[in-house]
């Protein structure tokens, strides 16, 4: 509890360094004396802050160290028109985790995408789809061509294509182009 409010805690978090179930008694006294308020931020905000710091400032900061920036980004109105200093600390983030954070940020911004396309299982079907990616200058990163584990009839298949583009609009144009050619296309979103 903080200020006699029960707050959610527990579970995996990018902010491991500040993930405590209960602030210690000494810490609680210090906070009560010098801190006016504490704001909570979600995991997507922490991920965005870590990614932004690396992309713009070229600074590697762990999740807990980026929590201040995540708070400012999440609660913009609260800090609007004020001089705000954000303490950045800790570069203790696993490189694989950092790579995941960056890729997820690219997906959220629309520069990475995954399209699920229903096709007929016949020669050249996938090639025609790939031609559309080329036409819209969207780069294909990976293809999953699924015939077996699908609810489609035996002559149907699902192709999941992970791709990269300059922005969300470029992928949206590709999707519209594929649909105009009669393809059933679904954009797979991050959960």
> Quick check: 9 and 42 in contact, CB under 8 A?
no
Q: What is the pLDDT of residue 82?
A: 93
Point out the domain boundary residue: 72, 105, 138. Answer: 105
**Residues 125-143, mean pLDDT to the nearest whole number:** 97
Point out the domain boundary residue: 86, 105, 124. Answer: 105
Residues forming a β-bridge with 185 = 117
- At residue 113, the 3 state secondary structure works out as strand
Confidence class of residue 166 from pLDDT cuts 50, 70 and 90? very high
> Quick check: 89 and 63 in contact, CB under 8 A?
no
- For residue 5, being part of any structural domain is answered with no
Number of folded domains in the chain? 2
Alpha-carbon distance 134 to 69, whole Å?
Answer: 38
> 56-99 pLDDT, tens per residue?
999 999 999 999 999 999 999 999 999 999 999 999 999 999 99
The pTM (predicted TM-score) of the whole model is: 0.77
Helix residue ranges per DSSP H, the chain: 25-34, 43-57, 67-74, 76-79, 95-108, 125-135, 168-180
Report the CATH number at residue 178: 3.30.70.260
Percent share of the chain, pLDDT over 90: 72
Instruction: Tell me the residue range of the domain where 174 lies.
Output: 110-187
């Amino acid at each position: 509890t903080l200020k006699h409010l029960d707050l959610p805690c527990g579970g995996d978090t990018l902010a491991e360094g500040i993930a405590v179930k209960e602030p210690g008694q000494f810490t609680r006294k210090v906070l009560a004396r010098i801190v006016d308020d504490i704001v909570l931020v979600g995991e997507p905000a922490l991920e965005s802050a870590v990614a932004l710091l690396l992309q713009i400032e070229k600074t590697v900061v762990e999740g807990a160290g980026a929590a201040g920036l995540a708070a400012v980004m999440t609660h913009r109105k609260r800090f609007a028109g004020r001089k705000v200093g954000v303490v950045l600390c800790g570069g203790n983030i696993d490189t694989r985790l950092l790579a995941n954070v960056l890729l997820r940020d690219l997906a959220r911004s629309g520069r990475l995408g995954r399209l699920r396309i229903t096709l007929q299982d016949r020669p050249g079907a996938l090639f025609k789809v790939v031609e559309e990616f080329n036409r819209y200058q969207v780069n294909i990163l990976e293809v999953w061509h699924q015939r077996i584990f699908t609810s489609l009839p035996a002559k149907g298949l699902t192709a999941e294509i992970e791709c990269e583009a300059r922005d969300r609009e470029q992928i949206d144009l590709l999707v519209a182009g594929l649909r105009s050619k009669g393809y059933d296309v679904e954009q797979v979103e991050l959960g």
